[in-house]
């Protein structure tokens, strides 16, 4: 019996990673543009670090979600565990990217 795997083609993985990066960018823009004043102790270009790390973390989280994709099509409890693990991977990577990006500035 031939095993059927549900792996996404490379162009779809790239598109999904871009979607994850866009999600990270929107999340970090909420924090960066929401600040009305900055501390003079912060570096001059303090916004560059969060605007790079959060989208990068979002794309990595989405890549992890796509790597779990073959298990998501298994029947029963494996599907549920894979969906929860994929969602936790995306949310955790976005959280870590946001914290690392804002560390030393807004979240000192």
Q: Of 6-15, 24-33, 62-71, where does mean pLDDT reach its minimum?
A: 6-15
- Residues 11-17: contacts with CB within 8 Å, 24+ apart? 13/63, 13/66, 16/62, 16/63, 16/65, 16/66, 17/59, 17/62, 17/63, 17/66
Residue with tokens 């490379």: 10
Chain segment 37-95, per-residue pLDDT in tens: 777 777 788 889 999 999 999 999 999 998 888 888 888 888 899 999 999 999 999 99
Q: Are 64 and 25 in contact (CB under 8 A)?
A: no
Residue with tokens 């914290």: 99
Closest CA to 50 of 104, 93, 100, 91: 100
> Does this model's pTM top 0.85?
no
Residue range 1-11: mean pLDDT, rounded: 61
């Amino acid at each position: 019996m031939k095993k059927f795997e549900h792996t996404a083609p490379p162009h779809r993985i790239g598109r999904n990673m871009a979607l994850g990066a866009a999600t990270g960018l929107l999340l970090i823009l909420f924090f960066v543009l929401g600040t009305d004043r900055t501390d003079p102790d912060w570096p001059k270009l303090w916004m560059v670090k969060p605007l790079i790390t959060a989208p990068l973390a979002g794309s990595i989280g989405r890549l992890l979600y796509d790597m779990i994709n073959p298990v998501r099509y298994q029947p029963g409890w494996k599907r549920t565990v894979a969906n929860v693990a994929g969602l936790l991977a995306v949310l955790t990577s976005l959280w870590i990217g946001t914290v690392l990006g804002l560390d030393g500035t807004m979240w000192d």
